[in-house]
A and B are shown apart, each in its own frame.
Chain A
Amino acid sequence: MNARIFLTQLLGALGLIVILGFNVIIMDWWERKLVGHIHRRPGPMHTGWHGILQPFADMLKMLSKEDIVPDRADRLFFWLGPAVAVVPAFMALAVLPLAPGFALADIGNGLFFVFAMQTIMPFGYTLIGWSGHNKWSLVGALRSAAQLISYEIPMLIVALGILLAAGSARLTDIVNAQSTVWYAVKQPIGLLIFFITAVAEMNRSPFDMPEAESELVAGIHTEYAGMKFGLVMMAEYTAMLVGSWMIVLLFLGGWHLWPLPPSPVWLVLKLYLVQSGIIWLRGTYLRLRVDTMMEMSWKYLIPASLANLMLVGVLATTFKGF
C-alpha cells in the first residue's frame, strides 16, 4: 500500500464521518418536520427557516449539558456502550457503495461485512442498558438483545436469497444485476421480510422495544445525558441509514432507475424515501408487544424467509438470468 492510496482512504474515511454528521442533522430535522406534519402541526418553526437550525440547537444543548455518570454505574461500560453501538454502524458504511465502484472499500464480501457490523450493535445497546444500573434500562437491554438476535436470522436468510440470485456478495455486483429489473419485483416477499426485519434492527417504531418511552421511561438510555446521549441517538440514526441503504442496494436497484441512466442521485433519493417511509410508520403505528414481536419473528418471519429462499433457489435454477 503506497502513500497515495493511504491518503485517499484517510480522506475518504474523514469524508464518511462528515457525511454521517450531515445525515444525522438532516434526519433530525426531517423526522421532526415529517412527524409534525403527520400530526397536523408544523414542527420546529422558530430556529431559522422552517426550523432548519433545530439540529444545531439540539447539538449545542447536548454539548453544554452536564455529563452525568450515575454513582453505581459501571463506569467503563457506561463509556464504552455508546462507542460499541456507534462505531460498527460507521464501519458498515465503509463498504456501502454510492455509485459503481465508488465506496471506501468495495470488498468482495461486502454483504457479509455489513451484517457482521450490524451484529455488533446489539452488544452496544445491551451494554448501554446494563451499565446504567437502572431497572428500566436493564429491561430495555434484555429486550434489545432478544429482539436483535431474533430479527437477524430472517434478515440473513432473505439476504441469502439475494446472494443466490446475484451470484456475488460484492454489493456493486448485486446492484448491477438489477440494472433493468429490481429484486423488489423478483423477490417481493423477500423485500417485505427484509423491510420488517430492518425496521426491527434499527429499533424504530413499531419495534422500538428497547426505548419504549411509554413503558420504560427512556429504555436503554434512561441514565444517559449530554453528548453520550447524543452518541446513542447518532448510533440510532446511523443504523437507520445503514438499514435503508441496504434495502436500496439489495432490492430497490441502488443507482439504477431504468430506463434512465444510472446515477448516485437515484440512490440518495431512494435512500431518503425509504427513511421517510420508516418515519411514516412511526407516525401511524402503535408499538407491538414484546412477546408478539418475538412470536412474529420465530413463527412467521423465519419460516416465510426460508420458503422465500427455497422459491428463489428453484426459480434461479429453472430460469436462466433470474
Chain B
Amino acid sequence: MIEDHPRVGRLQKDAVTESIVLNMGPQHPSMHGVFHMQLELSGETILAARPVIGYLHRGIEKLAEHRTYAQCMVLVDRLDYISQYCNEWAYCRAIERLARIEVPERAEWLRTMYAELVRVTSHLMWFGSVGLDLGGWTPVIYAFIPRERIFDFFEATTGSRLMPNYLRFGGVKEDVDPAEMEALHAYLAKDLIDALDEFDGLVTGNEIFLSRQRGLAPMTVDQAHAWGVTGPMLRACGSTRDLRIDTPYGVYDRLDWESCTDTRGDALARYSVRMREMRESAKMALQCIERMPAGEVRTKVARVLRPPEGEVYVRHESTRGELGFHIVSDGSPKPYRFRVRSPAFMNVSSLPHLCAGAKISEFFAIFGGIDNVMAEIDR
C-alpha cells in the first residue's frame, strides 16, 4: 500500500485540501441576466451550489399597489420580458374575473395567437442561449432570424417589439391589419418550419450536443412536484400537466394540438419538449389565423376600473411554466395587494439539486435547460 510508505503518509497528514468557492455571476458572459451562483468546487466538480438572487429587484409588486389597474399593465410587461403577451394575458384574466368583464370572441382568438407566437419567440431565445452556453455562437444568431420576423409582426400592430402593452381589460388594444396577418400566415406555414428544421440539423443531431445533454441532471416527477417545477421542465419528466388543457382558457379547447411531453426527465428531454413546443405553437397560431371570426376586439370598460372588493388567483401556462397572479381588491382603483407566482423562480429552486456532483461545464448545460428570466424571478 502506497499510503503506508512513511513519506507518503507524512505528506498526506500534512496536506490539507480545500474546496474553492467560485462566484459565478452576476457578471459572467453566459449568465442569463444577473443571476449569481455560488459554486463550491473540488477541482471541476461542483460539491454544492447556492443561487443568489435579487440583483434585479425593482419592487414591481409594491409599485403596482400605487398604480391603477390599467397602469399596472406596463409593469406586467416588464416581469418576463421574453414572453410579454403571456404575462399580460394572465393579468387581464385575473382582473376580468375579478371585475366580471366579458371578452369578445375575436379578442380571445387574437390573445391565443399572440400567446402562442410569443411562446415561439421565447423558445427561440432559449434555443439560441443553449447554443451559447454550450460554446457555439451560430445557434443564437440563427435563432434571432425568425424571432426578429415575428417581432416585426408584433411591431406592426402594437408599435413595440418588446414591451407591447397590447392587451386591455375586455379585449385587446387594436385589431390586426389583415395584410400583416396574411404575411405572417405565409411565414409560419413555410419559412418558420424550414428554420426549425435547420436548427434540428445544426444542433439536435449533433453528436457533441447529444453527448452533453443525454442523461444530464435527471429529475423525476416526484422531485419536480416537490421543488415546484412547472412548464416544459415538468412535462419533460413525464407529467402531462399543461394548464392550457387542464384549465382551458382562451380558445385552446377549440384548436387541434397536443401538449408535448417526454418521459426521460434529463436535459435532453427538456430540450426536446421545447423544440417540439415551438412547432405546436406555430401550428396553433396558424389555426388561429385561419379560423378567427370577425367582430369586435374590445368591450367597453370604465376608464378607471374599480373592481368589486375581493380577491382572485389566476393560473396561466406561460412559456416557462405556471404563472400565477394573486390580486386583492379593496374596491379602490388601485390593487390592494399584487402578488406574482413566478414559474422561473420555482424552476430555479431545483438548480442546487440538479447541479450537485456535476462539472463546471455541465452547469451551464443544466442552467440553460431551466430557461429562467431574472426580471421575473427578482420582480
> How far is B135's CA from A283's CA once the two chains are assembled, in angstroms?
10
Q: Is the CB of A135 within 8 A of B211?
A: no
Is A206 interfacial (CB 8 A cutoff)?
yes
Contact A206 B135 (CB under 8 A): yes
* Residues A289 and B133 in contact, CB atoms below 8 Å apart: no
Establish whether residues A292 and B212, one from each chain, have CB atoms under 8 Å apart when the complex forms. Answer: yes
Contact with A along B21-48 (1 / 0, CB 8 A): 0100000111000000000000110000
Q: How far is the CB of B27 from chain A (nearest CB, A)?
A: 9
CB distance from B69 to the nearest CB of A (A): 42
Known: A289-B359, A291-B359, A292-B212. A284 touches B364 (CB 8 A): no
Q: Which chain A residues in 258-315 approach chain B with CB under 8 Å?
A: 282-292
Q: Whose C-beta in chain B lies nearest to the C-beta of A215? A: B361
A212, B137: Cα distance in complex, Å? 12
| A1-54 at interface with B (beta carbon < 8 Å) | 35, 38-41
Complex CA gap A139/B84 in Å reads: 39
Which of B43, B134, B364 has the largest number of chain A CB atoms within 10 A?
B134
Q: Whole-angstrom distance between the alpha carbons of A79 and B277 in the complex?
A: 52
Checking A136, A143, A215 against B364 with a beta-carbon cut-off of 8 angstroms, the contacting residue is: A215
| B343 within 8 A of partner (CB) | no
Residues on the A chain within 8 Å of B20, using CB: 135
Shortest CB-to-CB span from B134 to chain A, Å, is 4
CA distance A139 to B141 in the complex (A): 29
Contact mask for chain A residues 200-236; partner B; CB cutoff 8 A; 1 contact, 0 none = 0000011011001111110000000000000000000
Query: Number of contact residues on A: which range applies?
Result: 20 to 34
Within 8 A of A (CB), among B87-146: 131-138, 141-142, 145
User: Nearest chain B CB to A161's CB is how many angstroms away?
Assistant: 26
Please judge, given known A-B contacts A286-B134, A286-B203, whether A212 and B208 are in contact too, CB under 8 Å: no
Contact between chains at B135 and A205 (CB < 8 Å): yes
Of A41, A143, A287, which one neighbours B135 at CB under 8 angstroms? A287
With both chains docked as a complex, state the minimum distance between the C-beta of B229 and any C-beta of chain A, in angstroms: 24
Q: A285's contact among B29, B141, B208, by CB below 8 Å, is which?
A: B208
Q: Which of B22, B29, B30, B137 contacts A35 (CB 8 A)?
A: B137
Query: Contact between B44 and A290 (Cβ–Cβ < 8 Å)?
Result: yes
Given contacts A135-B20, A214-B134, contact A286 B206 (CB under 8 A): yes
B83 to chain A, nearest CB (A): 24
Enumerate chain B residues within 8 angstroms of A139, measured Cβ to Cβ: 44, 360
In the assembled complex, how far is the CB of residue B53 from the closest CB belonging to chain A, in whole angstroms?
21
**Is B56 part of the contact surface with A, judged by Cβ < 8 Å?**
no
**In the complex, which of the residues B133, B138, B203 has the most CB atoms of chain A within 10 Å of its own CB atom?**
B138
Residues of A within 8 A of B137 (CB): 35, 39, 282-283
Task: List residues of chain B with CB within 8 A of the CB of A39.
Answer: 137-138, 141-142
Chain A residues near B134 (CB-CB < 8 A): 214, 286-287
A-B contact pairs, 13 of them (CB 8 A): A35-B137, A213-B30, A213-B135, A214-B30, A215-B30, A216-B360, A217-B28, A283-B138, A286-B135, A286-B209, A290-B359, A292-B211, A292-B212
- Known A284-B136, A285-B208, A286-B131; further 7 A-B contacts with Cβ < 8 A: A40-B145, A214-B134, A214-B364, A215-B360, A283-B137, A285-B206, A289-B361
